Amino acid sequence: MAFDGNPETRWESQYSNPQWLQVDLGEPQEITRVAITWETAYAKAFQIQTSLDGSTWSDIYATTAGAGGTSNLAGLKGYGRYVRMYGTARATDYGFSIWEFQVYGQPVESTTRTGLATGAHSWYVVAVDAFGNRRQSTSTYSFTVR
């Protein structure tokens, strides 16, 4: 299978367009790179997509000039729990075939602040949307602990 680290096993699709292969990362991640090692039956046109829920997808990469071999897609800016290769045009009459599908990035940290006293507190916030756009700021909030 394409996710097992074994270069002698592979995933193959049906002989039609479109087809897709997806991985569940278990929790949302920032996606910065995807590497696909194609078998001879590669994608001429495909997208790399991310999703938080496995239903709504956002493209973080697209090509109509796939060349097979290894597609090392660095510099991606994506966010999601699910990542997929969505193949829209096969280079051969066969289905899409992938030896390895690797996703690189890092978990998005979720911080819970405990032990805060009544008053004003400041913290640094970074928000990343599904397209990899980042917003950051330092925020100060006043509240009463009950």
Among the ranges given (7-11, 22-26, 107-111), the one the predictor scored with the smallest mean pLDDT: 107-111
- With bands split at pLDDT 50, 70 and 90, how would you rate the model's confidence at 139? very low
Please tell me whether the overall predicted TM-score, pTM, comes out greater than 0.85 for this model. no
- With bands split at pLDDT 50, 70 and 90, how would you rate the model's confidence at 34? very high
The pLDDT value recorded for residue 107 is 79
The pLDDT value recorded for residue 138 is 47
Cβ atoms 23, 83 nearer than 8 A: yes
Give the pLDDT mean for 11-16.
Answer: 96
* Half-sphere CA count of 140, side-chain side, radius 13 A: 2
User: How many of the other CB atoms lie within 10 Å of CB of 38?
Assistant: 23
- DSSP H/E element including 121: strand 119-128
All structural domains of the chain with their residue ranges: 11-107
3-state secondary structure of 143: strand
Burial of residue 83 (number of CB atoms within 10 Å: 0-12, 13-18, 19+)? buried
pLDDT in tens, 60-118: 999 999 999 999 999 999 999 999 999 999 999 999 999 999 999 987 766 555 665 55
Cβ atoms 27, 110 nearer than 8 A: no
Q: The domain 11-107: what is its CATH number?
A: 2.60.120.260
